[in-house]
Structure 1
Amino acid sequence: MAADYHRPTKLPPGMFEDFVGGADPAQLSRAAHDTAAALLARVRADPDPEIVARLIDYTDRHGIDAIAELWSRSSAKSLPGALWRIYLLRTLIGQDAELLSLAYRRGTDVSRTIDQVVAGAAAPAGPPEVRDVADRVLHGAFTGDFAIALDRAAAFARVCAAGFASLADDADASDAVHPDRPAAFTRRALRLTELADELSACARLWRRDALD
Structure 2
Amino acid sequence: MASDFHRPTRFPPGMFEGFLGAEDPAHLSHVAHDTAAALLSRVRSNPDPAVVARLVSYTDEHGIDAIAELWSHASPKSLPGALWRVYLLRALIRQDPLGVSLGFQRGTEVSHTIDQVVAGAPIPAGPAEVQDLADQVLRGLFGGDFAAALERAAAFARVVAAGFASLADDADASDAAHPERSGRLTQRALRLTQLADEFASCARLWRRDSLD
Would the TM-score normalized by the shorter structure come out above 0.5?
A: yes
In structure 2, what is the Cα distance between the partners aligned to 1:40 and 1:178?
A: 45
CA contact (8 A) 1:85 1:195 kept: yes
- Kindly provide the CA deviation profile for residues 140-161 of structure 1, in whole angstroms up to 9, marking residues without a partner as x: 0100010000000000000000
- The SS at the match of 1:53 is helix
Residue type matched to 1:130 in 2?
A: V
116-125 vs 176-185, greater mean Cα deviation = 176-185
- Please tell me whether residue 182 in structure 1 is matched to residue 166 in structure 2: no
In structure 2, what is the Cα distance between the partners aligned to 1:175 and 1:185?
A: 13
Q: Which residue of 2 aligns with 1:11?
A: 11
Residue type matched to 2:23 in 1?
A: A
In structure 2, what is the Cα distance between the partners aligned to 1:67 and 1:12?
A: 17
Q: Which residue of 2 aligns with 1:38?
A: 38
Q: Which residue of 2 aligns with 1:134?
A: 134
CA contact (8 A) 1:107 1:163 kept: yes
CA contact (8 A) 2:153 2:199 kept: yes
Residue type matched to 2:167 in 1?
A: L
Change (3 A) 1:79 1:5: closer
Q: Which residue of 1 aligns with 2:27?
A: 27
In structure 1, what is the Cα distance between the partners aligned to 2:177 and 2:8?
A: 33
Q: Which residue of 1 aligns with 2:201?
A: 201
- The SS at the match of 1:37 is helix
Percent identity between the aligned chains? Answer: 72
Q: Which residue of 2 aligns with 1:191?
A: 191
TM-score by structure 2 length?
0.96
CA RMSD of aligned residues (A): 1.2
| Structure 2: gaps (5+ residues) | none
- Kindly provide the CA deviation profile for residues 10-33 of structure 1, in whole angstroms up to 9, marking residues without a partner as x: 122211111112211011101100
- Kindly provide the CA deviation profile for residues 60-83 of structure 1, in whole angstroms up to 9, marking residues without a partner as x: 000000000000000000000000
TM-score by structure 1 length?
0.96
- Please tell me whether residue 56 in structure 1 is matched to residue 69 in structure 2: no
Residue type matched to 1:111 in 2?
A: S
- Kindly provide the CA deviation profile for residues 107-129 of structure 1, in whole angstroms up to 9, marking residues without a partner as x: 00000110000001112110001
